Structures are given as C-alpha cells and as structure tokens.
Chains A and B, each alone.
Chain A
Amino acid sequence: MLCSKCHKNEASVYFKQNINGEVREYALCPQCAAEAELGFAPLNLFGSMLTQAKPKTDHKRCTLCSSDFSEIKKRGKVGCAQCYSVFAEELKPMIESIHRGAKHNGRAPEGYSEKRKAQNELEALKNELRAAIESEEYERAAKLRDLIREKEADND
C-alpha cells in the first residue's frame, strides 16, 4: 500500500486514531510518519539500556567518527567500528545483555581465521590431555603436553 500522505513510498506505519469515538486510520511511509508527529517518539531500546552507563571521562570522543558516548546513547547505535574499543567499558553491559555474554564463534577475515583455527586446535589438544590424565594414560599425556607446549610457542 502506498503512503496516504505523499503517495510515493510504500507505507510501513499503520495506525488507528480514536478521539472521542471518531476513528481514523492512517498508512504512512517512514518519512511522513516522522514528519506527522504522531504523538509517540520512536522506540530506542538500546539507547535506554545505555542510560545507566556513565562514561569514565566526560569528554571522551572517538578519533575516527568523533562520536561521544551521549550521542551513542541517543542513537542506540555506535558511530564506527572503532567506537566498540573506545567505549568498550561503557558498551559492555549492553552487549552482554543483548547477546547473553556469548563470544563470537564463526567466520573471520583472513589472518584471524588462521589464528582462530590454531586456538581451536590447541583447545582440542588440552581436552585430550585432560582425558588422557583421567584415564591414567601417562605416556600419551606426556606426548600431548609436549605438543601443546610446542603449539603455544608457535602461536606466540
């Protein structure tokens, strides 16, 4: 359905207004909805999640996009990739809450993927070592221990 105001864009905001029994229905596109001042502000849940967080230094700004934390709170979105490290401490509670404290596990750009692969291999060897000790296979455990040391030295 096209926007009932500008008749150009696809309507995506539908609402019914009931004032003393007089019901009117509207179908507006996002721009016209924003201009129409419908009496409700757009919901900014992430911004509201950040209102508890206080920046450590009041005037800290990201050097790449020049965002400060109050702007990030207002938008509910960061200004650039670097903001995630500049405001790491302030953003941490919100990110942990959205993603339930999980860490990334999946695809990665070249270079990182090699490092991740090496880390996964190391983790698997450590698990194997634990299992070998538990089942009292000490000779195998000693070999695994040496292999782990070797891999750790390589990764560093």
Chain B
Amino acid sequence: MIKDIDVVLSTRIRFARNIKDYPFASRLDATSCREIIEKVEAVLCGFEKTDLTDTDPLKAQCYVEAHRISPEFAVSSLPHALLEKGDTRVMVCEEDHIRLQVIKRGFELDSAFAEACVSDDALLSGLRIAYDEELGFLTHCPTNLGNAMRASVMMFLPALAMTGELKGIVSQLSKLGFTIRGIYGEGSEAQGYLYQISNSETMGLTEEATVSRLGDVVTQIIGHERNARERIKAAGVKAYDPLCRAFGVLKYSCTMTSKEFIGLYAKVRLGVAIGVVNEIGYETLDSLFTAVMPCTLAEGERLSEAQRDKKRAEVIKEKLT
C-alpha cells in the first residue's frame, strides 16, 4: 500500500552540491566535466552510470518524460552523466556539479530525506564540497544558497481546483515559504490537476525543519482534498457521471492527443479515488502517464502527430484491457 497515493503521486528530495576548485557549469570545460564525473562516481558506491554526453536527443527526452533527469540536463552540450541506485538519482554536471535526488511514489518525505542524506553523507565526506559557514552550500544560482535543498511533493488536487478552494490555498502557501507549480517544473501551466508543492526558502531553516513544515502543510491539504472529493460524490450521479464516462473514452478511443489524455487521466483518477471507477488502479493509471508521453511512445522512431495519437490510443487500450 503506497501512502496517500490517492492525493500524492510522488515525493522528491533534491540536494545541490558543487566541488571546490572547479568553476560552475556556465564556465566549465569538457575536461573538468569528465574529472567531476569520475570523482563523484568514485565516492558513490553501487551506483549505475549512464553517460548522457552523446545520447540521441529523443532518448534523452524519454529520460525527462520518466522524470529521471531534468529538461535542462537533457540538452546539456558538455559531458554529463546520470548515476542511479534504487530511488536515488544523481545528475552530474547539471546547473550545479551535483544534483542528488530521491523520488518515491506516494507521500514519503521522511524516508526520501533519510535516503538522500545517506548518499549526501558520502559526497560530503569524500569530496571537497564548496561550502561557507554563513552562506551554506555554494550554488551556481544564489537563490539555492543555504541548505540547497528542494523538498517537493507532487499532488493530485482535482476536487480543490474544481471547488475553487485551491486559489485560497495557493496564496497562503507563498506566505508560508512554499511554491506551487504545474507538472513539468517552473512556469508551466497546471495540467491534469497535478501540482508540485515545494519549499522556496533554503536559508535559515534546517533540512529537517523544512521537511517537517512541508509535511504538515501537505497533510492538511490532503485532508481538504479528501473532504472536497466527498462533497463531489455526495452531489450525486450528475457530478460523478463524467468521471465514469471518461474511463469509457480513455479505454475505447482509436486516436488521442496528449492534451486529451491528460484531461481524461485526471477524471478517471478522481473516479478511482471516490470509488466510482473500479476497473483500474493507481499503479496502471500512473504508469500510463509516462508510457504515452511523445518520446516514450515513439520508441526512437520519428512519428507524425497523427501516428503518435493513434499509437497513444493503442497503448492505452492494451494497458486497460
């Protein structure tokens, strides 16, 4: 049983670290990048390395769609590599030399933080990490100074969005030092009622305090979302009929754009959550999300938009049958 999977899709903890004596990414050369990759690899035991330096852009985009790397990392022109072990992924030579992140399904802030600390301890003891007593970890962008940690939770909040309650929550979040944004990172519009909530402050609070405050806020939002869902269900058949119909369209369509998919995905997921769609679980539904993304779908082939939409519908049908 994955904790709070009806509201929280995933939890992520990310640390940014840089090695002393090397310039930051914007002034780094290829030789230094390779040296940094070697050094990081040497201190992290049991990690599997994927060198992404000359990877085909379409393949790199698949990694982005699966949330294994950031979009910026995918298009880097300098040598860069990904180190992976379980839920821990380390991007080497991203905006910062090291971007260590742990992503877990469901609401798992404490265990994700604990796991990130294990790999971070290895980095902090094995490498000369750029650090200042007052400024904390020295990062390429001054906004990340301090603990250089981003703790974030990907939430599915359809009921709060539909009832208009989300607006009030958003304004309170920013006052409390949290940011809320749409699915593919900064600036993008919220899609499929998926929202990422993360800490915006990195200076002054310890990592534990940041994680605990985010945990408190998320727990409260989970409660509000569930209440709002109950109200939708209680409103009767007219309110939840569109959710059941969405499942039918999702399963039996012969062609589907990614925009349409996301809309249907959200409706079906809400249907599963309030118990009116019983033919499918979160695991299958959420795995579809990555499987039907444009590059993952194309499997390295160059497909036209029409071909892609047709293949998307086929993949969905196969998974739901």
List A residues at the B interface (Cβ < 8 Å): 1-2, 8-10, 12, 14, 30-31, 46, 64-67, 75-81, 84-85, 91, 94-95, 98-100, 102-110, 112, 115-116
Contacts and interface: CB of A to CB of B under 8 A. Distances in A.
B206 A8 contact: no
Nearest to B205: A105
Interface in B76-130: 117, 120, 124-125, 128-130
A81 B20 contact: yes
Given A79-B23, A79-B27, A80-B22, A106 B138 contact: no
Interface residues of B, number: 55
A106 B145 CA distance: 12
A98 B142 contact: yes
18 contacts: A8-B58, A9-B57, A10-B184, A10-B295, A30-B75, A65-B23, A66-B27, A67-B27, A78-B24, A79-B27, A84-B132, A98-B142, A102-B201, A104-B134, A107-B117, A108-B131, A109-B131, A115-B133
Contacts of A103: 134, 203-204
B315 to A, nearest CB: 17
Contact of A107 (B22, B23, B120): B120
Contacts of A65: 23-24, 27
A10 B23 contact: no
A31 B71 CA distance: 12
A140 to B, nearest CB: 30
Contact of A99 (B24, B120, B140, B145): B145
Contacts of A94: 142
Contacts of A80: 22-24, 27
Contacts of B1: none
B21 interface: yes
B146 A102 contact: yes
B174 interface: no
B124 A109 contact: yes
Given A84-B132, A99-B146, A110-B124, A77 B26 contact: yes
Interface string B129-157: 11111111110111101110100000000
B142 A78 contact: yes
A99 B75 contact: no
A82 to B, nearest CB: 8
Given A81-B20, A106-B149, A112-B131, 12 more contacts: A1-B294, A10-B65, A12-B184, A64-B23, A65-B23, A67-B27, A80-B23, A98-B145, A99-B145, A99-B203, A106-B147, A107-B117
